[in-house]
Amino acid sequence: MTSLDEAKRIHFVGIGGCSMSGIARILNQQGHIITGSDREPTQFTGGMEEEGITVYYGQKAEQAAGCDLLVYSAAIKPNNPERVYAREHGIPEMERSVALGQLSSRFHNVVAVAGCHGKTTITSMLAFLNEQSNLGATVHVGGYVDLLDGGVKLGSGDLFITEACEYVRSFLTLKPTIAVINNIDNDHLDCYGDISHIIEAFHDFCDLLPDDGLLLGCIDDDKVESLLPETGKPYQTYGLENGDYHAANITYNEVGFPSFDLVDHGQTIGNVVLSVPGQHNVINALAVYAVSKRLGVAFSDYQIAMKRFVNTKRRFEFMGEKNGVKIYHDYGHHPNEIAATLQAAVHVPHKRVFCVFQCNSYTRAKTLFCEDVTCFTNAYQVLVPDIYPGREVDTGIVHAKDMVDGINKMTHNAIYLATFEAIAEYLEANAEPGDIVITVGSGDVYKQTKKLL
């Protein structure tokens, strides 16, 4: 059995994650009997239990008993007791991305938002657009959205809007009719090896589009611009200054939020006001407009949705203030994401910007943060703790001090401080009222940030 359609009861191992919980809730709405397990309650488990989904805490073999299919997330290893039970009892297993792909095939129209950076924000913006324009879409986001009280919106129509993640080529399971590619970058080199294989994966993603589908690409990214005509698919473009859809007259208000005139094929349509900081969010909003145009959404609804949209969790999120120093956190962990975050900080009133950067991968540290590191230009100082291991094991190939050396070759503003306790002490002694602190990274830095408060 390799099909969701053949399974009545489906058991999710790792059900407390954002994406897994979203898939579970959608399948529950569609009539499947859903159970699941996780190590402990999460911000998503309570809502699932209210909808009638049985959630177990802790992994025990017998919890998988009686299911027709077991779905697991990438973080769940083969020796997990519930996965072992499934294999021993002939219960088929399915990885999360495959389940998402099969789920997408149940919808007639599928908007899949891809790109190495920005896809969560664009998908979240589309969730606001869906609410404002009553599209009736089912929405699946890879991050927490306050509007959704989670990462999913259960819809009533035949439209599915989902984030399309390129990690381990998982987006190749989807069945898109509208595909967005915001950028292509040298990320996830632990599974791709080099940029050529990443580009190849995005080309394969484009091949999934039907002949009457639409490909939307950001031509500010040269790799996307080159890819679009090679796909043989109908496509349209967006970008800051060029493209079928672009921005003009960008301005920033007193808290760093941009507004711009939207230009559609040479015609100025109207002014768009955002409630999130940064030039990169102008690009994200342009992608949303391109999708909205295809879906037939009124421009007035688009304007309202963009003004209502506030950042998802861990995207330039305000964490609090101490001694007159405001502290923010951003999930950015690639040089281009960090550069965009710090560029956004330029437009937020401040004296100095302290950046705390926790790298969550030894591979990423070695390949991206030891040579030609220019992404911290807009920081006054960069405070670098020890590398968070993430999915990897420390083999000694790189140390946080090597990243500090790489940064200091270019911008001369990095300091190694092994722990967040040491960073908290340093900021206590050196940060002044009016300064801002931005912690960046995708490890446990989000939790560690609270120590600074």
- What pLDDT, in 10s, does the model give residues 344-371? 788 888 889 999 999 888 888 888 888 8
**Half-sphere CA count of 241, side-chain side, radius 13 A:** 0
Q: Tell me what the pLDDT averaged over the chain comes to.
A: 90
Band of pLDDT at residue 450, cut at 50, 70 and 90: confident
The hierarchical CATH code for the domain 107-308 is 3.40.1190.10
pLDDT at 200: 92
pLDDT at 189: 54
Residue 295 to residues 122, 159, 268, 404, Cα–Cα distance (Å): 15, 10, 20, 47
Burial of 392 (0-12, 13-18, 19+ CB in 10 A): middle
pLDDT at 216: 98
pLDDT at 442: 79
pLDDT at 311: 66
Band of pLDDT at residue 192, cut at 50, 70 and 90: low
pLDDT at 190: 60
CA dist 246 and 268 (Å) reads: 9
| Beta strand pairing call for 150-153 and 93-95 | unpaired
Rounded to two decimals, the pTM is 0.75
Q: Which residues, in sequence order, are bridge partners of residue 239? A: 246
CATH topology of domain 7-96: Rossmann fold (3.40.50)
Band of pLDDT at residue 203, cut at 50, 70 and 90: very high
Q: Do domains 7-96 and 317-452 have the same CATH topology?
A: no
Q: Is the per-residue pLDDT at 1 higher than 60?
A: no
Band of pLDDT at residue 283, cut at 50, 70 and 90: very high
In this prediction, what percent of the chain has a pLDDT beyond 90?
A: 61
Average pLDDT for 110-138: 93
> CATH assignment of 317-452, given 1.10.10.10, 3.90.190.20, 3.40.50.300, 1.20.1280.50?
3.90.190.20
Minimum mean pLDDT range among 212-216, 230-234, 328-332? 328-332
Which residues have CB under 8 Å from 425's CB, separation 6+? none
CA dist 294 and 381 (Å) reads: 44
Q: Is the model more confident about 443 or about 423?
A: 423
Do the beta carbons of residue 142 and residue 123 sit within 8 Å?
yes
| Domain boundaries, given as residue ranges, for the chain | 7-96, 107-308, 317-452
Q: pLDDT, tens digit, for every residue of 217-255?
A: 999 999 999 999 999 999 999 999 999 999 999 998 877
